[in-house]
């Protein structure tokens, strides 16, 4: 039983963590609030007790003459109560012949002391002040009762003063504080729970993301494996097709020649798609290698242009390269530079029905900019925004018969950026496009 539970926790650590947070954080908030309120209540009671003892001690300093003047005492006590409404009752207790205590003066309207006889006897015997908490069950109120001895000039104990101080005002404040604290606590717990539940949702998203990542990795592995497996038979098909096109028997037959050329074109397109898929896999898995060294762009662009020139001339397009002079060096991979410009120039030729494809260069500051301009079909602003997205192709009547995977420009942008370059496109629909490739100059 323990092992499966441990295994579940290990496999779902984020879920377990979320559950623990949902339990512990509200519990900690509740505990902290209750502990704080308890400490406040304790400290307030301690302070009230001290104040009650202090009042009792002050009132205990009365002379023998004052004790004998009942009217004077009553007026004095009434004035004290007027100034301190928290004082409920003040009584002066004097011993009688029966060893009990009578009220020599009191603020109690009934004329009774209301003092605890046991506590009074204890204070009289000990000669020390004593404070006790008194709870009235009928009104559910509290008060502090302090009995302090009164001594004459010779230090002889002659009477006692009993003072009752109400805690109602303080209790009301504490009650409001407790009520407000509970409201704040409840709101805080609810907010924390909502945040934690939201956190739990994020855990679900994270789990889903992990699964999607696993699926994506499986997809990449499959594409890589399938592409490699397709490469060998495609190479064989292209080789046999070339042999067929060189065979006099085939070339003598117009239909056979046409079929062989169709096979060659189809295998070429499929081979390009396989190569694109392999490049996507290499880029996404960060396995594409770059042999970085100082190179000159004009020679590499000219090499790429020569690969496309025949295709352009077949369409009657004028193709020109005007390099900047002197040509600065850039730090790049020669093969990747050729791959970039083959892709861009090939696209320009494919999407241009008539006119020209021109390539110009300009040095700006510490960069060299290469502009590939065409007089092709152009594109809309929306198409420009998505042009470098994976598998994106412009779909309209002008492009429906143009072959392509929608991966070439995505691959081109990734390669350019990995060599610390940038690529932009500007276009006017129906007028043409301009691709700008920027690389930092290597000094």
Q: What is the reported pLDDT for 430?
A: 87
At 303, which helix (H) or strand (E)? Answer: helix 297-314
What does the block give as tokens for 321? 């390269």
Per-residue pLDDT band for 296 (boundaries 50, 70, 90) equals very high
> Residue 90 phi/psi, 5° resolution?
-130, 125
Q: Considering the chain, what percentage of its residues have pLDDT values greater than 70?
A: 85
Are the C-beta atoms of 436 and 426 separated by less than 8 Å?
yes
Per-residue pLDDT band for 364 (boundaries 50, 70, 90) equals very high
Q: What is the mean pLDDT of residues 311-337?
A: 92
Distance, C-alpha 203 to centroid of its chain: 12
List Cβ<8 Å contacts ≥24 apart for 48-55.
48/144, 48/165, 48/167, 48/170, 49/131, 49/133, 49/144, 51/165, 52/131, 52/144, 52/145, 52/146, 52/163, 52/165, 53/129, 53/131, 53/146, 53/148, 55/84, 55/87, 55/146, 55/163, 55/165
Helix, strand, coil percentages, rounded to 5, for the chain:
55, 20, 25
At 90, which helix (H) or strand (E)? Answer: strand 87-95
Residues ≥6 apart with Cβ < 8 Å to 22: 193, 196, 197, 200
Which pLDDT tens digit goes with each residue over 143-153?
877 888 887 77
CB atoms within 10 A of CB 232: 9
The region of weakest confidence among 81-95, 108-122, 135-149, 401-415 is 108-122
**E-only strand ranges, 375-429:** 422-428
- Give which of 220, 208, 113, 218 is closest to 159, Cα–Cα: 113
Are the C-beta atoms of 353 and 316 separated by less than 8 Å?
no
Highest average pLDDT, of 193-197, 277-281, 399-403, comes from 277-281
**E-only strand ranges, 217-355:** 293-296, 318-322, 329-332
Output 255 or 277, whichever has higher pLDDT: 255
Are the C-beta atoms of 130 and 137 separated by less than 8 Å?
no
- pLDDT exceeds cutoff 70 at 227: no
- Domain with residues 64-166, CATH architecture: 2-Layer Sandwich (3.30)
Distance, C-alpha 411 to centroid of its chain: 32
Most distant pair of Cα atoms in the chain: their distance:
152
- Give which of 68, 123, 71 is closest to 101, Cα–Cα: 123
- pLDDT exceeds cutoff 90 at 185: no
Per-residue pLDDT band for 171 (boundaries 50, 70, 90) equals confident
Residue 48 CB burial class (10 angstroms; 0-12, 13-18, ≥19): buried
CB atoms within 10 A of CB 99: 8
Q: What is the reported pLDDT for 55?
A: 62
- pLDDT exceeds cutoff 90 at 35: no
Residue 281 CB burial class (10 angstroms; 0-12, 13-18, ≥19): buried
Q: What is the mean pLDDT of residues 168-193?
A: 78
Cα distance between residue 437 and residue 426, in whole Å: 12
Output 382 or 405, whichever has higher pLDDT: 382
**356-364/318-322 β-pairing:** parallel
- Give which of 342, 336, 345 is closest to 416, Cα–Cα: 336
Domain boundaries, the chain: 64-166, 293-442
Q: Can you tell me whether residue 195 is helix, strand or coil?
A: helix
The region of weakest confidence among 38-47, 132-141, 281-290 is 38-47
Q: What is the reported pLDDT for 406?
A: 81
Which pLDDT tens digit goes with each residue over 239-274?
888 888 888 887 888 888 888 888 887 877 787 777
Q: What is the mean pLDDT of residues 351-365?
A: 93
- Domain with residues 293-442, CATH architecture: 2-Layer Sandwich (3.30)
Q: What is the mean pLDDT of residues 186-204?
A: 74
Looking at residue 328, the DSSP 8-state letter turns out to be P
Per-residue pLDDT band for 1 (boundaries 50, 70, 90) equals very low
Per-residue pLDDT band for 8 (boundaries 50, 70, 90) equals low
Adjacent-strand bridge partners of 294: 331
- pLDDT exceeds cutoff 70 at 18: no
Average pLDDT across the chain, whole number: 80
Q: Please indicate, yes or no, whether the overall pTM of this predicted structure exceeds 0.75.
A: no
């Amino acid at each position: 039983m323990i092992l499966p539970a441990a295994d579940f926790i290990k496999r779902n650590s984020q879920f377990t963590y979320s559950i623990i947070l949902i339990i512990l954080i509200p519990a900690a908030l509740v505990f902290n609030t209750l502990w704080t309120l308890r400490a406040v209540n304790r400290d307030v009671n301690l302070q009230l007790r001290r104040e009650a003892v202090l009042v009792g001690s002050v009132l205990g300093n009365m002379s023998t003459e004052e004790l004998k003047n009942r009217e004077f005492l009553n007026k004095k006590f009434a004035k004290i109560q007027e100034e301190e409404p928290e004082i409920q009752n003040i009584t002066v207790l004097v011993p009688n012949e029966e060893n009990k205590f009578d009220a020599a003066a009191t603020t109690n309207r009934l004329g009774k002391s209301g003092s605890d006889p046991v506590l009074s006897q204890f204070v009289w015997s000990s000669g020390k002040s004593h404070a006790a908490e008194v709870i009235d069950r009928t009104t559910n109120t509290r008060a502090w009762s302090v009995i302090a001895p009164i001594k004459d000039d010779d230090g002889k104990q002659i009477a006692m003063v009993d003072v009752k101080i109400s805690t109602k005002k303080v209790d009301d404040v504490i009650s409001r504080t407790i009520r407000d604290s509970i409201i704040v606590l409840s709101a805080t717990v609810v907010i924390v729970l909502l945040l934690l539940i939201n956190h739990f949702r994020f855990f679900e998203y994270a789990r889903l993301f992990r699964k999607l990542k696993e699926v994506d990795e499986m997809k990449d592995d499959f594409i890589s494996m399938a592409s490699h497996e397709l490469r060998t038979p495609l190479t064989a098909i292209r080789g046999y097709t070339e042999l067929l096109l060189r065979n006099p028997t085939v070339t003598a037959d117009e239909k056979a020649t046409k079929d062989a050329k169709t096979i060659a074109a189809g295998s070429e397109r499929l081979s390009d798609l396989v190569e694109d898929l392999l490049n996507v896999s290499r880029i996404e898995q960060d396995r594409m290698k770059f042999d970085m060294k100082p190179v000159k762009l004009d020679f590499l662009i000219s090499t790429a242009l020569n690969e496309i020139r025949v295709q352009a001339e077949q369409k009657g397009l004028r193709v020109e390269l005007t390099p900047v002079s002197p040509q600065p060096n850039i730090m790049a991979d020669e093969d990747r530079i050729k791959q970039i410009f083959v892709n861009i120039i090939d696209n320009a030729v494919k999407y241009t029905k008539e006119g020209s494809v021109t390539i110009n260069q300009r040095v700006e500051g510490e960069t060299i900019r290469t502009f590939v301009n065409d007089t092709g079909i152009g594109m809309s602003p929306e198409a420009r925004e998505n042009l470098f997205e994976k598998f994106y192709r412009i779909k309209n009547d002008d492009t429906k018969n143009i072959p392509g995977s929608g991966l070439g420009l995505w691959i081109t942008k990734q390669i350019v950026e990995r060599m610390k370059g940038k690529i932009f496109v500007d276009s006017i629909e129906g007028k043409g496009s301009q691709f700008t490739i920027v690389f930092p100059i290597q000094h």
